[in-house]
Amino acid sequence: MAEEAILGYLESKDEISDSGQFATERGLDHNEVVNVIKSLHGFRYVVAQDIKREMWILTDEGNAYTVTGSPEVQLFLAIPPEGIPKEELQKKLDPSVFKIGSAQAAKRKWVEMGKQLVTRKIQHVEDEVKNLLLQIQDGQAVNQDEIKALKARKLIVPQTWKGYLVKKGPNYAPKRKKVATDLTRENLQRGDWKELEFKEYNFSAKGLPIESGHLHPLLKVRHQLKGIFRQMGFEEMPTNNYVESSFWNFDALFQPQQHPARDSHDTFFLQVPSTTKQLPEDYVERVKQIHESGGYQSRGYGYDWKREEADKNLLRTHTTAVSSRMLYALAQKPFVPKKYYSIDRVFRNEAVDRTHLAEFHQIEGLVCDRGLALGDLLGVLKEFFSRLGMSKLRFKPAYNPYTEPSMEIFSYHEGLGKWVEIGNSGMFRPEMLLPMGLPEDVRVIAWGLSLERPTMILYGIDNIRDLFGHKVDLGLIKKNSICRLGL
C-alpha cells in the first residue's frame, strides 16, 4: 500500500516534501510510511532526508481535561448563583480539581473565594483551556503565549516529530523488482539464474541468539567470592552434606540444648533417618562435660546434657557446622595454621517474605593460628570486604553461643545512603576449641554472611523470590550481566 503510493507518486513528481503530510493525505499510518521509506532508501530506490519538527502533545492530565473540561470551569459550574460554602464546594469536587480550579478561577477573577462563601463574579465563562487543548490535539497551530501557559501547567509537553523528504534514488523504478534470496535447483535447470537479481548479503545482520546454558547471578557472585578467598590464601571446606547431626551443628559449637534455635520452629529436623549413626565418642564426652559442668576455666551451662538431642539429624542451619568438623579434624593431628572458607546452602524454618527464604547460601571464612587476636579479625575483615568493594565498615558487639567477642559487620551503602548489616563474626570460644584438642594458644577468628544479600544489592533485586525459587523469571537468568566485585 504505502510502497505503491510512494513509488507511484515519484513517477510523476520530483519529491515528497513531507512524509507526514503525505501519510495524512492518503490516510496511511506514518510509521508504516517511514518503514517503507527506510527500506526503499536501503535499496536506493529513493533518497530520503531527515526532517524534524517540534510538536506539542497532550499529557495524561491534558487529555483528561479535553473530556471533563478544565478544573477552573468544573469549579465555576459547581458554584450555584447564590454562592456555596467552601467546605461544601470542596466536597463536590475531586481534591485536585478543587485545588487547581480555585487557584485558576481566582486568578482569572471568575470567582470570589470568601472566608465563608464562594461566589461567582461573572455569569458565564468559556473553557479556553479545553478548546486550546483540543486544537493542539488536532494538530492546529496555537499562539506562543498560550503554549507557554499550557506547558507551565504541564498539560502539554514538547515532542520532536521525525519524518522524511523523499526523492528518486539511482535505482528508482515505479515497482520494486523482486530479488532472489536463494539460488535453487530449478533456477539452475531453467537457466534463469542468468537474469535473476540476487539480494545482497547483509554482513552486519545480527544472528540468532545462541541457545546455551546460563549462570545464575548467585553462581556468578559465588565465583567472584571464591576468587577473592583463593587470592587471600584460603582453602575450600567440603560442604557437600546438607544433612548434619545436631551435635556438629549445635553441641560442638557450645550451643546449649535448650537454645531457641534448636526448636523445630527454627530448624528442619529429619524424620528418616532421624538420628546420626556415628560420633567421635571421647570428644562427645568432653562436649557433654563442658555443657554440663564446664572445664578449662569455664563454668559451663549447668544442665543435664542429653545424647538423644545431639544425635538428631537436621538440615544444617549454618555452614559453621562444617567449620566445627574441620577444626576437630585439625585438632587430631600436629597443629598447622589454616585459612578455610566455604560458600554453600543452609536451611532455616523461617517465615518466607521479601528478604527471607527457608534456604539460602552462607559465605564463611575462618583463620586458625596461634596467638590471633581481635585485631587480626578486624584486619582480615577489612581486607576481605574491601575486595568486595565495601571499604567503609563498622562493627557492633553481638552474641553467638560459639564466639566471644562477637561482632555484627555493617557496611556503608552509597546507593541507599545508610549503613546496612552485612555479616556476623567473632572469635571461637575456648569452650568450643579446647574440647576438640586444639593447643591452648590457638585462636580461631571467623565470619559469615549470606550470598543472597550482596547478590541482591549488586543486581538491584529487592525481592528474594525474584532471585531464587520457582517464581524466578528465566529471562533474568539468561540476560543478567557479568559480575565484577570491588569495582
- Give yes or no for a contact between 482 and 476, defined as CB atoms under 8 angstroms apart: no
CA 123 to chain centroid, in Å, comes to 57
CB of 432 to ligand PHE, least distance (A): 10
3-state SS of 68-109 is HCCHHHHHHHCCCCCCEEHHHHHHHCCHHHHHHHHHHHHHCC
CB of 216 to ligand PHE, least distance (A): 23
Nearer to ligand PHE, 280 or 401 (CB): 401
Closest CA to 388 of 346, 443, 447, 326: 447
Say how far apart CA 69 and CA 62 lie, in whole Å: 10
Nearer to ligand PHE, 245 or 424 (CB): 424
CB of 384 to ligand PHE, least distance (A): 13
Contacts of 342 (CB under 8 A, 6+ apart): 236, 237, 239, 319, 322, 323, 362, 363, 364
Mutual angle of helices 60-68 and 128-137, in 10-degree steps = 120
Nearer to ligand PHE, 104 or 424 (CB): 424
CB of 87 to ligand PHE, least distance (A): 58
Nearer to ligand PHE, 377 or 434 (CB): 377
CB of 242 to ligand PHE, least distance (A): 15
- Bridge pairing between strands 156-168 and 111-113: unpaired
Closest CA to 382 of 439, 318, 425: 425
Closest CA to 358 of 448, 421, 276, 265: 265
Cβ-closest position to ligand PHE: 448
Say how far apart CA 281 and CA 315 lie, in whole Å: 22
DSSP for 397-412 reads EEEETTEEEEEEEEEE
Nearer to ligand PHE, 62 or 426 (CB): 426
CB of 152 to ligand PHE, least distance (A): 56
- Give yes or no for a contact between 406 and 320, defined as CB atoms under 8 angstroms apart: no
Nearer to ligand PHE, 101 or 448 (CB): 448
| φ, ψ dihedrals at 172, nearest 5° | -55, 140
Nearer to ligand PHE, 72 or 244 (CB): 244
CB of 398 to ligand PHE, least distance (A): 9
CB of 407 to ligand PHE, least distance (A): 9
Give the position of cell 542468468. Answer: 194
Nearer to ligand PHE, 224 or 267 (CB): 267
Residues in contact with ligand PHE by CB under 6 A are: 318, 320, 364, 400, 403, 424-426, 446-448
